Copies of this chain bind each other. A is one copy, B any other.
Amino acid sequence: MGEKILVIGAGAIGAFYGGVLAKAGCEVSAVARSDFDAVTAGGYRIESHLGDLSWRPAQVVRSAADYKGPADFLFVCVKLTAQTDPVALMRPAVGKDTAIVFVANGIDIDAPVAAAFPDNELVSGVAYAAVSREGGVIKHHSQYTRLVLGRYPGGLSARATRLAELIKQGGSSSVATEDIVGARWQKCAWNTVLNPVSALGGGLGTQDMLASDATTGFVHEAIEEFAAIAAAAGHPIPADTADKLIAGTRKLPNYVSSMGQDQLAGRPMETEALLGNVVRIARRHGVPATRLETLYALLKMAEQRSAS
């Protein structure tokens, strides 16, 4: 067996990469909570154009404290809501030489993890992958699938390079970067704007948001605000990002974002990770962000309703 890896947060994305890493010969285990019995009995079933990625974890545990380590990598794939404390989830399994791979959505989300484990290498990950869970089966939809990995807060990393290599061995695409924070900003240009819009429209699909010049114009302006904040934070994104994202989105099916689905279902949303942190960075740098501020205020109200 190769590297010992523990997947924490084995939702669709975590289970998918668990399968890829198992295929690459790693000894992959998983923390499973609500589906502990099903995973113990049958492992994870994954349907993908890459072939059958179904896998059985070496260990299925109810919490990281039950894992027999140490792990070479923790592969942490959690949704960052107000209800989630990723540091607490991973702490029991963080050994002396464990690298923490933090694959989550958002801006300014790595710092608390880095502060909690200052002696461990933190590899931050940005995943581009359309994967969903449908009745016990994980379905991998997207042709373009890529995991960008890099040491937080920046620079070269042998561990990030090794993990990218393993994912490629497992048949998927991955790349190590020296600027993972820049990669986060790049990815969030879409998520920070379109996920909240989808939620606030009552679970809007991608095409609903671009149905008229007026609404497309708003999306464009909001992405431009985001770009100005990224530049002020020292992580400029390409000048044509808004145009490219809108053109790319037009080619997608009328897909409801995860945040849109969360709002429809009354589930917690990644409000702070995706949007609140960006708004606070804008304030800190004095960058005007009225559109994003408005989205943020509305999302906070929507959360209030769900909570009441």
Q: Give the B-binding residues of A (Cβ under 8 A).
A: 197, 200-205, 208-209, 211-212, 214-215, 217-219, 222, 254, 263, 290-291, 293-298, 300-302, 304-306, 308
Cβ-defined contact, A214 with B297, below 8 A: yes
6 A-B residue pairings within 8 Å (CB atoms): A197-B301, A201-B298, A201-B302, A217-B297, A219-B297, A291-B294
Cβ-defined contact, B218 with A304, below 8 A: no
How far, in angstroms, from A308 to B263 measured CA to CA in the complex?
Answer: 19
Contact residue among B215, B295, B305 (Cβ-Cβ distance under 8 Å from A204): B305
Do A290 and B294 form a contact, CB below 8 Å, given A200-B201, A201-B200? yes
Identical subunits present: 2
Cβ-defined contact, A298 with B208, below 8 A: no
Cβ-defined contact, B208 with A301, below 8 A: yes
The 10 closest A-B pairs by CB, nearest first: A218-B297, A290-B290, A294-B294, A201-B302, A201-B301, A211-B304, A200-B200, A208-B304, A208-B305, A215-B301
A295: B residues at CB distance < 8 A: 294
How far, in angstroms, from A308 to B200 measured CA to CA in the complex?
Answer: 16
Do A305 and B197 form a contact, CB below 8 Å, given A212-B300, A215-B297, A290-B291? no
How far, in angstroms, from A290 to B294 measured CA to CA in the complex?
Answer: 9
Cβ-defined contact, A302 with B215, below 8 A: no
How far, in angstroms, from A215 to B276 measured CA to CA in the complex?
Answer: 13
A296: B residues at CB distance < 8 A: 214
A263: B residues at CB distance < 8 A: 202
Contact residue among B200, B293, B305 (Cβ-Cβ distance under 8 Å from A298): B200
Contact residue among B215, B222, B290 (Cβ-Cβ distance under 8 Å from A304): B215
A297: B residues at CB distance < 8 A: 214-215, 217-219
Cβ-defined contact, A201 with B305, below 8 A: yes
A211: B residues at CB distance < 8 A: 301, 304
Do A308 and B201 form a contact, CB below 8 Å, given A290-B294, A291-B290, A294-B294? no
How far, in angstroms, from A306 to B208 measured CA to CA in the complex?
Answer: 10
A201: B residues at CB distance < 8 A: 200, 298, 301-302, 304-305
> How distant is A135 from chain B, measured CB to nearest CB, in Å?
25
Cβ-defined contact, A204 with B301, below 8 A: yes
Do A215 and B300 form a contact, CB below 8 Å, given A201-B200, A263-B202, A294-B295? yes
How far, in angstroms, from A305 to B222 measured CA to CA in the complex?
Answer: 20
The chain B residue sitting closest to A218, CB to CB, is B297
How far, in angstroms, from A296 to B212 measured CA to CA in the complex?
Answer: 12
